[in-house]
Amino acid sequence: MIVVTTETIEGKKIAETLGLVKGSVIRAKHIGKDIAAVLRHVVGGEIKEYTEMMDDSRDIAFKRMIKDAEGLDADAIVGVRFTTSMVMAGASEILVYGTAVKLEG
CA angle (7, 56, 24) in 5-degree steps = 55
pLDDT at 72: 98
**Could you tell me what percent of the chain has a pLDDT over 90?**
65
Of the two residues 85 and 38, the one the predictor is more confident about is 85
52: enclosing H helix or E strand: helix 48-71
Mean pLDDT of 79-97: 91
State pLDDT tens for residues 15-58.
999 999 999 999 887 655 556 666 656 666 777 778 888 899 99
Instruction: Give the chain's domains with CATH numbers.
Output: 2-103 (3.30.110.70)
